[in-house]
């Protein structure tokens, strides 16, 4: 009979050019910096964590191919059912399972998913691992462009108001953080309105 325990998968993303996102499993958190611009590359490293040594592991990486283009993958992989399939042998309980580089194709918030994860333990039992996703913000480089359309106007102020009020979470984080203090709030709205009338 299989031993059922709880497992976790940890996804850690390192975005080149000082763009860093981190996702952890249960009890973890997500932090995002300024995001990336269209045409820039995003390097994401996937790590697996299990309560016992892994004989082997496998998982899929799913992404929106209209927003991100696969550039390279450092680990043994293939494309299967439209997803990146990664499988390898391993001897540890914690493994860096691969690094995938994507090129940003269009502005907006998009997600990369690590899913259908499992590993084979030293008794050759296959055990599940929980998946995780990470959010990537591709911005236009226009300061104050909260809605990703490449311009600054009243539509950005409306998008920012909705975000501050908790009505919508769809926002260009780096564009909306006009004063660059790392958070988005009413101070950014004031600064945005000021910049539009100058």
Q: What tokens were used for 11?
A: 């996804």
Q: What tokens were used for 132?
A: 């995780």
Answer for which of 58, 95, 121, 145 binds Ca ion (CB under 5 A) is 145
- Site membership for Ca ion, residue 116 (CB under 5 A): no
- Site membership for Ca ion, residue 181 (CB under 5 A): yes
Interface stretch with Ca ion, choices 7-15, 51-59, 71-79, 172-180 (CB under 5 A): 172-180
- Closest contact distance (angstroms) between CB of 36 and Ca ion is 18
- Site membership for Ca ion, residue 147 (CB under 5 A): yes
Cα gap 190→170, rounded to integer Å: 20
CB-wise, 123 or 181, nearer to Ca ion?
Answer: 181
What is the bridge-based pairing of β-strands 41-49 and 126-129?
unpaired
Query: What size, in residues, is the chain?
Result: 198
CB-wise, 71 or 154, nearer to Ca ion?
Answer: 154
Q: Can you name the residues that pair with 9 across neighbouring β-strands?
A: 48
Q: What is the DSSP string of 135-196?
A: EEEEE-S-TT-TTSSSS-SHHHHHHHHHHHTTS-----HHHH-TT-SSS-SHHHHHHHHHHH
Interface stretch with Ca ion, choices 1-9, 50-58, 82-90, 187-195 (CB under 5 A): 187-195
**Footprint of Ca ion on 11-50 (CB under 5 A):** none
The residues of the shown chain that bind Ca ion, judged by CB under 5 A, are 145, 147, 149, 151, 156, 177, 179, 181, 188
């Amino acid at each position: 009979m299989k031993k059922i325990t709880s497992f976790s998968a940890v996804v850690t993303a390192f975005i080149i050019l000082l763009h860093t996102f981190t996702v952890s499993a249960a009890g973890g958190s997500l932090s995002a910096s300024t995001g990336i611009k269209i045409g820039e590359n995003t390097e994401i490293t996937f790590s697996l964590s299990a309560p016992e040594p892994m004989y082997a592991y496998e998982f899929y990486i799913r992404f929106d191919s209209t927003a991100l283009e696969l550039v390279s993958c450092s680990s043994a992989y293939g494309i299967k059912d439209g997803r990146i399939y990664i499988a390898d042998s391993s001897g540890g309980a914690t493994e860096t399972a691969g690094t995938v580089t994507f090129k940003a194709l269009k502005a907006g918030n998009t997600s990369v998913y690590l899913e259908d994860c499992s590993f084979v333990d030293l008794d050759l039992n296959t055990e599940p691992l929980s998946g995780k996703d990470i959010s990537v913000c591709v911005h236009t480089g226009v300061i104050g462009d909260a809605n990703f359309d490449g311009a600054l106007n009243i539509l950005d102020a409306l998008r920012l108001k909705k975000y501050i009020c908790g009505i919508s979470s769809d926002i260009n984080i780096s564009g909306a953080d006009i004063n660059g203090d790392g958070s988005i709030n009413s101070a950014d709205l004031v600064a945005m309105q000021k910049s539009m009338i100058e």
